[in-house]
Structure 1
């Protein structure tokens, strides 16, 4: 809970630091997730899982300078695939990205980076994985990490880009049925997104 309060505090400070003459735009963002859990392979050998993300976003940009930030509220699917079984969990992601746009008005490139907070809102909390060292996998309710992204903006209304999410908290926990052994896992993954800006 303290981590989520810290992330929201940083977001509020960032918004307050933006000049009053900054451009404010709203949009809808969505795309595909390719995620994987980074965990000890001797405990659980996981593969990539494909999901999706979608939700509203707000973007602030300082004219001429091209520096600003965007904040989104995304429904997002991530998970684990092991032993030909796919386990997906639904999250509410709140990424806060600082963004720099450069180029000509019709076509601009952008770089983005910033923190995110992730709240589990659906999917099973526990998964049974028979015949494996980690016989049970537990999804945590909260996660946080860093985003790094790049892309292009066309005609000031369409953004297409990719993003890498580096999980910093333990989002999953693998344990034996007797709770004799535990191993933590962090979410890592790529997303390919498109956003329509109004």
Structure 2
């Protein structure tokens, strides 16, 4: 599955290369996600508040490809294809034992962003905003208690998670011109709207909604930037 995702990213870059013209830039993106999950709603306010106060951020990679289509000097449209790791980390003490739970979830994610650029010819600032859609491809969870440790992969045939994640992305960044190319530094916040859990009809009544929250920091090298 991950090899298919990589082929898809290279295919998009290939299309961009063959379609290259004035106003189109493209290149790779790589960085780190600082991800967690939050509960919202539901009938049990104590359970929701306890989880949200205990859950912590967990670091994971993001890597992919970017194509930017300039509309004018200020506005451009930027679709991307990313492999993005999300999840969360829980650490607490239970009866004198140190307990740690980490969930890692790899998504194939497609942000569709509007990009507003400003600044000088050599150094520019920008903001990005737009929707994203992601598909949960795989991952796993690990559990530690004192000196014992276990890990298992997620089996979607046994656990019926919602594998589609839809949300919004908001970010700021800087671009440094390097001849005809540009090096971009992006800082983003992704706000998931989908419930990670999935219930049969009528089973999820009164249950809280579990959604992804991700801070991302990444570098993108865009070829052919003007």
Query: Which TM-score applies when normalising by structure 2?
Result: 0.66
Give distance in 2, aligned partners of 1:138 and 1:51. Answer: 23
Partner in structure 1 of residue 216 of structure 2: 191
**Which among 144, 151, 175 is matched to residue 173 of structure 2?**
151
Cα drift, residue 41 of structure 1? 3.0
- Structure 1 residue 60 corresponds to structure 2 residue 69: yes
Partner in structure 1 of residue 187 of structure 2: 162
Aligned residues: 166
For residues 62-99 of structure 1, what are the alpha-carbon distances to aligned partners after superposition, in whole Å with 9 as ceiling and x for unaligned? 34x32111111000101121241211010001001100
What's the RMSD between the two structures over aligned residues?
Answer: 2.9
**Which among 46, 51, 66 is matched to residue 55 of structure 2?**
46
Q: Which runs of 5 or more residues in structure 2 are unaligned?
A: 1-20, 40-47, 92-99, 146-158
Partner in structure 1 of residue 43 of structure 2: none
Give the ranges of 4+ consecutive aligned residues of structure 1 lying more than 2 Å apart after TM superposition.
41-45, 126-130, 137-140, 171-174, 179-184
Query: Which TM-score applies when normalising by structure 1?
Result: 0.74
Which structure shows the bigger proportion of residues in helix conformation? 2
Give distance in 2, aligned partners of 1:186 and 1:66. Answer: 33
Q: How is 1:1-198 mapped onto 2 (pairs within 5 angstroms)?
A: 23-39=23-39, 40-42=48-50, 45-63=54-72, 65-83=73-91, 84-124=100-140, 139-155=161-177, 156-172=181-197, 182-198=207-223
Give distance in 1, aligned partners of 2:69 and 2:57. Answer: 33
Q: Which runs of 5 or more residues in structure 1 are unaligned?
A: 1-20, 131-136
